Amino acid sequence: MVFESTTQRLQELGIDFMAALERVRKVATKTPITYNRNLSKKYQCEIFLKREDLQIVRSYKLRGAYNMLSTLPPELLINGAVTASAGNHAQGFAYSCNKMKIKGVVFMPVITSKQKIKQTRMFGEDAVEIQLVGDTFDDCAIAARAYTQQHKMTFIPPFENIRIIEGQATVGLEIIEEMNDVEVLILPVGGGGLASGVGLAFKTFSPATHIIGVEPEGAPSMKEAFKAGHPVLLPKIDPFVDGAAVKRVGDLTYSICSSVIDEIELVPEGKICSTILKLYNEEAIVVEPAGALSIAALDHYADFIKGKKVVCIVSGSNNDIDRMPEIKERSLQFEGLKHYFLINFAQRPGALKEFVNNVLGPHDDITRFEYTQKTNKTSGPAIVGIELHQSKDYQNLIENMHFNQVDFKEINKDDTLYGYLI
């Protein structure tokens, strides 16, 4: 879809920003835009955070879900509505169904965090039923659409609908209401609903703003679509950043994003985890992986944003405390502080003590040690996890192992081995 101007684009799509803002404000909080002193000092610019993590359902998704449901004719909602979601859209949908007294059915991946499932039930109360299907959003979306047809209900997609996009656009409208001189806008990209809506809002009212979309490295759906010139189906994705991990972006969201997003950046999952921990420890801000995407990308744009006014959209805070050990683990590995080895220790007394005394540095710590079973009677090599004080200590550790003739294999450098053993 190609448009000659932003005005024509809005007319063709049937978007009415002000009407959407009026509808959405009946249920959604106008979230604050806060100046972040620490980030601004670090990057020598002015950085503001649009705090959608403080939304009533702890993410921006309520905006699109309610906007679409509230514009549907009553006859389409007689039998109720169905959606598929990795968690945040589910909560916005559930809250909206409860508010509008609509029967709702939510399909979520089996791996969805307990916290997001619990929150969806809480917001939906008796109005919503939850079904857990598949390992990814795309898997449960297929099941949800089949269920919708079977029960003659109405499907409320998480991103591929103009009313959803129009609702998410209100995040951008609120930023523009308060700040008319934003030079750089950084936002997360999953299916593309937020990026489409906010991108359209900025290109309409603040066309000079440079817009950067950020995806997790393990789910580069929009990045690959930009490369190919059309949406593509990724054969596999890393579902860790569940709020932004889709195998295929929408046709509609791609067509809009390709004309309003200036560039797409990928951020490693480990970097996202490090950002989550820093935000918690240094700013007392709790974010989910997708919510950390925009801030995690700042290092890459340090030179570009220097001296500029920058807004990062913090999209959500639905993070389960049970995920924190994995988040810390991924962060440590990304920072080069956590390493795993298969080590064949000599079968004699004192071998482990020699390893500790001669190989490990003064601040190195063994965080995991277990023998693998070789046969029913003998043990195989040991799995040894070592946490370093500084990443530069790694080279000294490897040199010490070679010098002391330790028989070892680095598990971190073998994805198959790592997936099987760790």
Biggest CA-to-CA distance, the chain: 79
**What's the confidence (pLDDT) of residue 376?**
55
344-353 per-position pLDDT tens digit = 887 778 888 8
225-279 per-position pLDDT tens digit = 999 999 999 999 998 898 888 899 999 999 999 999 999 999 999 999 999 999 9
**What's the confidence (pLDDT) of residue 3?**
42
Phi, psi for residue 354 in degrees, rounded to 5? -65, -40
- Which residues have CB under 8 Å from 385's CB, separation 6+? 338, 339, 340, 366, 367, 368, 369, 422
**What's the confidence (pLDDT) of residue 374?**
62
Question: Cα(65)–Cα(377) distance, rounded to whole angstroms?
Answer: 60
Tokens of 313: 């959209």
**Strand 210-216 and strand 309-314: pairing?**
unpaired
**What's the confidence (pLDDT) of residue 2?**
39
- DSSP-derived secondary structure for 49-110: EEEGGGSTTSBTHHHHHHHHHHHS-GGGGSS-EEEE-SSHHHHHHHHHHHHHT--EEEEE-T
Question: Cα(9)–Cα(354) distance, rounded to whole angstroms?
Answer: 70
Tokens of 260: 């309003």
Question: Cα(75)–Cα(51) distance, rounded to whole angstroms?
Answer: 36
What is the sign of the dihedral through the CA atoms of 112, 115, 118 and 123?
negative
The structure's pTM equals: 0.86
Tokens of 86: 């990795």
Question: Cα(393)–Cα(362) distance, rounded to whole angstroms?
Answer: 10
Tokens of 227: 């490369």
- Which residues have CB under 8 Å from 39's CB, separation 6+? 47, 295, 298
- Which residues have CB under 8 Å from 36's CB, separation 6+? 47, 48, 49, 283
Residue labelled with tokens 């309520």: 62
Which stretches in the chain have pLDDT values below 50? Answer: 1-4
Please report how many Cα atoms fall inside a 13 Å half-sphere around the Cα of residue 34, on the Cβ side. 13
- DSSP-derived secondary structure for 119-133: HHHHHHGGGEEEEE-
Residue labelled with tokens 């080590």: 343
